[in-house]
Structure 1
Amino acid sequence: MNKKDFNEGLLGFLDASPTPFHATKNMSAMFLNAGFKELDESVKWNLREGEKYFVTRNDSSVIAFTYPNGEKNYTMLGAHTDSPNFRLKPNPVVKAHGVVKLMVEPYGGILLNPWFDRDLSIAGRISYLDTQGEIKEALIDAKKALAVIPSLAIHLDEFANKERTINKQTHTSPVLTTSDDFEYDEFLKWQLSKAGIVDAGEILATELSLYDVQKASFLGLNDDFISSARLDNLLSCYVGMLSICSIEEDRPMLFCASDHEEVGSASTSGAAGSFLEDTLRRVFCDYEGFLQMISASTMISCDNAHAIHPNYPDKHDQNHAPMINKGVVIKINSNQRYASSSQSISKFKSVASRLNEPTQYFVAKSDMGCGSTIGPITATRLGLKTLDVGLPTYAMHSIRELAGSDDAHSLYKIILEHR
């Protein structure tokens, strides 16, 4: 796939995936279109060699894999479906001061300031009782700009451009309407009806998020950049999804996109949970075969990397400061915040070199903290040789992030040749 088609598809995927539930649904549809067969965790699996399969958990994590004859040296790709955002509390409605506003809770390490004065919509999962009294679930996406978190005017805050702080409880509630007769459950049923659900009775529970309705786009004099919400980490999800859909059935590959990375991965559908291990043990039910596969395979953990910021260059180690559109970033940390080793690095770099694809290094400054991702978690849980890589990004965890238009396609080409 050429870079233009690759990036156009990326923009569409980003726009169609405002929550992990929507991202997982869209990836599942892609796998079905590519000939993968869907598995159900609650029933016995009867796998056939030469087939391709996928399975989901919690509707927010997905694993896709090939099942070639006798092959055990898998290239595994790991990413995560979640991104920092504001999530609605169970009873969110507050009517005061002439407006209806919604109480929200920050999810993950959210960069707060950019969320003010943006056109926000609502998406996520709703559980409800249908007319037969059965519990059902459905995804909604209002798509329309429904709410805004208004800034306080500079006239009312003498410290606005000096030392303003944001209180997550009192300052971040979005304004929804001035209508006094607003009823939250009726609003949710209306959203369900727009999604084709006409038999919704009692609303039982919700997992709803705010998101910016501005579309993903190219940016820059020569379309140098891709600007979008949720680049961390739907960018890697897209690369992994396309990679496994682009190979033949006899090539051993697995792609795992997990939820809840931004809050530590400790959940049933997170990388610290059992989803990947459970799946691999069902595929390789013989314990000796399972261990042989683990020993022969490599996990490439794909997450975004901090590109050196042109206005804050002192935040990077000068010899390990990746730049946008200069290649995939190999992430290293001696304290195992990243799981890269000389073995996993050398294999990846040899493939990139053969393809004339550039690579870069990121090592955090020794006097600063270092983030982490699913790489060390997966390496610890399964004993897989692991490499942490990423695509250089500005404004990570902002409502709108910035990446290069060359880098994701470069990673895609490397993965296709990684064996």
Structure 2
Amino acid sequence: MTDLATHVTEVAAGLCSYLDASPSPFHAVDSAAALLREAGFTEVAETDPTPTAPGHYVVRRGGSLLAWSTAAAGDARAPHTPYRVVGAHTDSPNLRIKPRPDWARAGWQMLGVEVYGGALTNSWLDRDLGLSGRVAVRDADAPGGVAQRLWRVDEPVLRVSQLAIHLDRSVRAEGLQLNDQAHLAPHWGLGLETGARRTFRGWLAEQVGVAAGDVLGYDAMTHDLTPARRIGPDGDLIASARLDNLATSYAAVRALLHAVEQPTAQPWVPVVVLFDHEEVGSMSERGAQSTFLPAWLERIVLATGGTREDYLRALAGTVIASGDMAHATHPNYAERHEPEHPILMNGGPVLKVNTNLRYATDSLGAAAFALACEQAGVPMQTFVTRSDLPCGSTVGPMTSALTGATTVDFGAPVLSMHSTREICGTLDQAAYAAALAAFLAPA
């Protein structure tokens, strides 16, 4: 096996492990933090003082994470040193459990769910579903009397069963029509109407080892139990849940680890930020429209003796790369894509451009990403959507507006975006991480 093939295999295996370990944004952050700690990063709490000594650090806020390194230049680093930031998001569309989910119909125990984000809801039918998330429990020894715990159940506890074709023969001709309220409630057993009552809160309490009355709140979501894996006769594709956008999150973490191992001589502070809630607009305390990124960039400046003026100077020289997956040209629907901008699977990272600023890319940002791909020795593709179709967006425009920094949007090719099961190119993942490493540590 060649060195390149070995590297591609290693990146693919690492990505698959990360995807399987991260069924919720909270687990995605936990998995990323673990990779960083193993490489020598020190985790700090937001309530702690910002570290003043040069080093590698990571902080989390719920389902979001920020990591940075000030070790390259050591004590000689000027407070107004600009940043190189790679941003991504940790959340993916799914079905989330309602606060009072228990109900029954026709002898079935059901759970009320709400669709999170722009899910392809048909892809959630007839699948073995597990559950995961975060739970807040009563704890007299914890601050405010509340402790947080991550939990996950990788067992087939839920299913959303599709109606048999015999009872709706129009589905072949007219297509499947799903009502979020009526047709997506999963069933998880029988007997609720006959007295063998099981409540979700009581079951969740059993999973985390507390009394039902001590479960004070939860963020609970479903996930498909099929593991991530390489597919195809040559293994040149990866199929998994949550590729959008955990593939970028993983590539960003790998890139940061590479950047601190081989720091650039140029004056940059490398930063990775993984946001929650991108799929629902990012308007939260930990989304891309929050204070999370700008507050921590300022705290890093102030911790090394800088001023507000130094912080604003740093932002003026900062470049942000906003990463999200990109639509590969679909062979069965090629007419839905811009004909002069085909995006090939395993064709390299994708620069994303939109004149109406659904992406933040301008010529300066595009140049920074093109140089990173050139330095990494990987090809670069360019995506624009058809002029007669609306364009999606990501965290790039909002982080650009909040910081005033030059920003570029990019991605890696994927099919079936927002499905329970997406596919991407195996070679693309190694190229993706290499390009981001070059962006964080430009030659």
Which TM-score applies when normalising by structure 2?
A: 0.90
CA-CA distance at 1:242 after TM superposition: 1.2
Does residue 13 (structure 1) correspond to residue 18 (structure 2)? The answer is yes
Does residue 53 (structure 1) correspond to residue 57 (structure 2)? The answer is yes
Does residue 33 (structure 1) correspond to residue 45 (structure 2)? The answer is no
* Partner of residue 343, structure 2: 322
CA distance in 2, matches of 1:200, 1:186: 5
Aligned with 1:54: secondary structure? strand
CA distance in 2, matches of 1:350, 1:206: 44
CA-CA distance at 1:83 after TM superposition: 0.3
Which of residues 74, 88, 97 in structure 1 aligns to 2:83? 74
* Partner of residue 277, structure 2: 260
CA-CA distance at 1:184 after TM superposition: 2.4
CA deviation vs aligned residue, 1:87-132 (integer Å, no higher than 9, x gap): 0000111122111011100000011111100000111111122477
Q: Which amino acid aligns with 1:160?
A: V
Aligned with 1:233: secondary structure? helix
Q: Which moved further from structure 2: 108-117 or 162-171?
A: 162-171
Does residue 185 (structure 1) correspond to residue 201 (structure 2)? The answer is yes
CA distance in 2, matches of 1:416, 1:12: 20
Asked whether the equivalents of residues 131 and 200 of structure 1 are also in contact (C-alpha less than 8 Å), the reply is no
Asked whether the equivalents of residues 130 and 199 of structure 1 are also in contact (C-alpha less than 8 Å), the reply is no
* Partner of residue 139, structure 1: 150
Task: Please list, as runs of the form range in 1=range in 2, the aligned pairs for 1:3-402 lying within 5 A after superposition.
Answer: 3-49=8-54, 51-57=55-61, 59-67=62-70, 68-69=73-74, 70=77, 72-130=81-139, 134-163=145-174, 164-180=176-192, 181=196, 182-193=198-209, 201-248=213-260, 251=264, 252-285=269-302, 286-402=307-423
CA-CA distance at 1:19 after TM superposition: 0.2
CA-CA distance at 1:381 after TM superposition: 0.7
Asked whether the equivalents of residues 192 and 200 of structure 1 are also in contact (C-alpha less than 8 Å), the reply is no
Q: Which amino acid aligns with 1:53?
A: Y
CA-CA distance at 1:352 after TM superposition: 1.9
CA-CA distance at 1:290 after TM superposition: 1.1
Asked whether the equivalents of residues 61 and 81 of structure 1 are also in contact (C-alpha less than 8 Å), the reply is yes
Aligned with 2:172: secondary structure? coil
CA-CA distance at 1:201 after TM superposition: 4.7
CA-CA distance at 1:137 after TM superposition: 1.6
Asked whether the equivalents of residues 128 and 200 of structure 1 are also in contact (C-alpha less than 8 Å), the reply is no
Q: Which amino acid aligns with 1:62?
A: L
Q: Given the superposition, is the C-alpha separation of residues 291 and 141 from structure 1 closer, same or farther in structure 2, using an over 3 Å criterion?
A: same
Q: Given the superposition, is the C-alpha separation of residues 412 and 147 from structure 1 closer, same or farther in structure 2, using an over 3 Å criterion?
A: same
Asked whether the equivalents of residues 202 and 212 of structure 2 are also in contact (C-alpha less than 8 Å), the reply is no
CA-CA distance at 1:200 after TM superposition: 7.0
Q: Which amino acid aligns with 1:83?
A: S
CA distance in 2, matches of 1:316, 1:75: 32
Q: Which amino acid aligns with 1:347?
A: A
Q: Which amino acid aligns with 2:162?
A: S
Q: Which moved further from structure 2: 337-346 or 178-187?
A: 178-187
CA deviation vs aligned residue, 1:47-89 (integer Å, no higher than 9, x gap): 212x0111111x2100000114316242210000000000000
CA distance in 1, matches of 2:376, 2:137: 51
Q: Which amino acid aligns with 1:221?
A: P
Report percent identity of matched pairs. 36
Aligned with 2:330: secondary structure? coil
Instruction: Report the structure, 1 or 2, having the larger helix content.
Output: 2
Asked whether the equivalents of residues 344 and 385 of structure 1 are also in contact (C-alpha less than 8 Å), the reply is yes
Q: Which amino acid aligns with 1:224?
A: D
Q: Which moved further from structure 2: 201-210 or 366-375?
A: 201-210
Count of paired positions: 413
Aligned with 2:185: secondary structure? coil
Which TM-score applies when normalising by structure 1?
A: 0.95
